[in-house]
Structure 1
Amino acid sequence: MYHRLAPVTQSNPLLPGYQFGAWLVAGLTPINADGPLDFFVDRPHGMKGYILNLTVKGRGRIFDGDAAFDCEEGDLLLFQPKTPHYYGRSPDSNAWHHRWVYFRPRAYWSDWLSFQDEVQGVGRLHLPEALRGEFDRLFASIENTHNSGRRFAEELAMNLLERLLLRAVEEDPRSHQQVRDSRVIEACQYVTSNLAAEVKIEEVAKHVCLSPSRLAHLFREQMGVNLLRWREDQRVIRARLLLQTTQEPIASIGREVGYDDQLYFSRVFRKRVGVSPSDFRRRSLDAHDALVAQETWYVPRRANE
């Protein structure tokens, strides 16, 4: 049996009510029996982003009923967006310590965001003991880098996360995903890092040591669209996130993603998203409020209650 806790606005990502509105949030959750973090999280509609979770001690319980399973030390889990969340310390274990990263992926990561072993939107990869230290250190490096206060802390943390995802795909024994050409990945990173600039394909090609024609061919072959169309996709994706997670004026967001003319930005956004930036922000706020209202947390009842 469980006590229900009502969500409140929270600045600590380990406690109920924290709003995951950033590109990336990372941490370590040390759950011990009867401790302050010993509760089950219940998000019936999941989250907007992905969560990677690595058990480093004890066991966790994921889901309930017939779908329930325990994750043990060395289990790497990947929660897909909008996958229902119900998890906490396994009743059969006195602890569950797990590292985690919540993130909004870069577009070119799409092929790396699923494990072959999946239950109801939660992928599972069991790491052999020899690899657990490596993955533990990667999780810790992502958290420490993101919290470092360095000038490019978020970008550096995202780069480390990219490495973590690639290592997971590499170690998934049933994965047949083909990792993209490193020069295409580097081109994507370069464009993303200069999203507000009108970078020409010749400049990107020079950066990745290819001719413009070879880069154009390779990029379309592996990404499915040309580089300029892909950049526009990234600008709209970034604008959507900023509209959802900040109160920046729409004109400022437009400039931040490469559109100095607010009217042109609004036209591009409406064409891609179907609504204006202001309508998108309003609808996102309404949807977020409804989602938070349905989140619950449950603390196990003690034996004498």
Structure 2
Amino acid sequence: MSLKLNKNDFFLTGMNSVVVAERHPQADFPSHDHDFDELVIVWRGNGVHIWNDIPYPITCGDLFYINAKDRHSYESANMLALDNVLYCRERFRLAADWEQLLPGEDTPQGQRYWRLSTLGMSVLRDKVDELAKECMKSEALSVQLSEALLMQLSLLLLRFRHQPDSGVLPDAHQLDLLLMALRAGIAEPFHLETFCRQHKLNPRALRALFKQHTGMSVTHYLRQLRICRAMSLLRYGNMTISDVAAECGFDDSNYFSVVFNRACGVSPRDYRQRFTSQAGIAR
């Protein structure tokens, strides 16, 4: 059963079109939808974002464009800090190509998930803070300024966002390079020392930086990426368990089953069967 969040509980007045809901920290939260749209910007920590039944391992720099018809929840939250920028499209007054700035329900889900660069995060932090202060005022000028700030924020997101699995990011920070390498090479063994030699980085310093921003180790994050990928393949694909294990970077399918069971509380086979049974009931 999904919770329903209503705009009347979040927006200051019936005229305000945008509000910032700070979640510092964001605890585990059950599946819900709402009668407004939102941007989700993750600043630090880690967790799992279940979005329309698809699991996304999240950490600093993740960006989601969530529509009113979407269902989502947060699980395994660990020092997770994020901001939800809520907005009502029907209240917008400024003439803009809002569909491009804020992808709507006609945009596929895969095109509404992005990553933000470290440079972009520092720029966006100030803009979100400015918007958070302005949207808590109800006079007409503040309502207009809030919408203008949302437009600026949306334009900055277009400038600083990149595809989650992109292997190229101009002027990338060392943390960006590592996160991209982990996501792009999920099926292959990853060796931090080799990565650091290639990019002339210090492994010890990079481990500390990664822990500071994500709240977990590099190994933990890579395991989370692999488990979430496996959950999607088991639920929506028809690959064998062994092939799923290999696709997610596990040479030994038995070890994969142990790791998956530890993370999800159920074996890969039983996890697949759960959704196969649900699909049969739905039919």
Tell me the TM-score normalized by structure 1: 0.49
Residues 54-78 of structure 1, C-alpha deviation per residue, up to 9 Å, x if partnerless? Answer: xxxxxxxx749x7597987964899
Larger helix share, 1 or 2: 2
Is contact 1:125–1:172 with CA below 8 Å preserved after alignment?
no
1:162 matched to 2:118: no
Which secondary structure does the structure 1 equivalent of 2:115 belong to? helix
Deviation, 1:229, is: 2.4
Q: What runs of 5+ residues in structure 2 fail to find an aligned partner?
A: 22-27, 40-50, 63-76, 134-171
Structure 1: gaps spanning 5 or more residues: 1-43, 48-61, 89-97, 116-122, 148-153, 176-180, 294-305
Please state if 1:275 is matched with 2:226: no
Q: 1:224 Cα deviation (Å)?
A: 2.5
Distance (whole Å) between structure 1 residues aligned to residue 38 and residue 86 of structure 2? 15
Q: Pick from 229, 236, 239 the counterpart of residue 245 of structure 1.
A: 236
Shift of residue 288, structure 1, vs aligned partner: 7.0
Report the Cα distance in structure 2 between the residues aligned to 1:186 and 1:170, rounded to whole angstroms.
23
1:115-170 per-residue CA deviation (whole Å, 9 max, x = no partner) reads 2xxxxxxx52589x8998586434459987x79xxxxxx6xx47x72349958755
- Structure 2 equivalent of residue 84 of structure 1: 32
Alignment of 1:1-305 (within 5 A): 44-45=1-2, 63=6, 67=9, 75=18, 82-85=30-33, 87=35, 104-108=55-59, 109=62, 111=80, 113-115=82-84, 124=86, 133=96, 136-140=99-103, 157=111, 161-163=114-116, 170-173=126-129, 174=132, 182-206=173-197, 209-286=200-277
Larger radius of gyration: 1
Q: State the shift of 1:283 in Å.
A: 2.4
Give the distance between the partners of 1:207 and 1:76, measured in 2 at CA.
44
**Which whole-Å CA distance do the structure 2 matches of 1:238 and 1:198 have between them?**
15
Equivalent-residue separation in structure 2 for 1:170 and 1:142 (angstroms)? 28
Find the aligned partners of 1:224 and 1:140 in 2 and give their Cα distance.
Answer: 30
Taking structure 2 as the reference length, the TM-score comes to 0.52
Q: How far off its partner does 1:269 sit? A: 1.1
1:250-287 deviation digits (Å, cap 9, x = unpaired): 11111110012211211221122221101112224456
In 1, Cα distance between equivalents of 2:125 and 2:276: 35
Contact 1:112 1:169 in 2 (8 A): no
Displacement, 1:221? 2.5
Partner of 1:36: none
What is the distance in 2 between the residues matched to 1:162 and 1:143?
21
Cα–Cα, structure 1 residues 263 and 105, in superposed 2: closer, same or farther, change >3 Å? Answer: closer
Q: CA RMSD in A?
A: 4.9
Residue type of the alignment partner of 2:58: A
How far, CA to CA, are the matches of 1:130 and 1:203 in structure 2? Answer: 53
Instruction: Tell me the distance in 1 between the aligned counterparts of 2:58 and 2:38.
Output: 24
Identity of aligned residues (%): 17
Structure 1 Cα separation of the partners of residues 16 and 9 of structure 2:
20
Q: Which structure is richer in relative contact order (CA contacts within 8 A, separation 6 or more)?
A: 1
**SS, match of residue 186 in structure 1:** helix
Q: Which range moved further: 273-282 or 242-251?
A: 242-251
Q: 1:104 to 1:168 in 2, by over 3 A?
A: farther
Contact 1:187–1:208 (8 Å) recurs in 2: no
Could you tell me which amino acid in structure 2 is paired with residue 45 of structure 1? S
For 1:5, the equivalent position in structure 2 comes to none
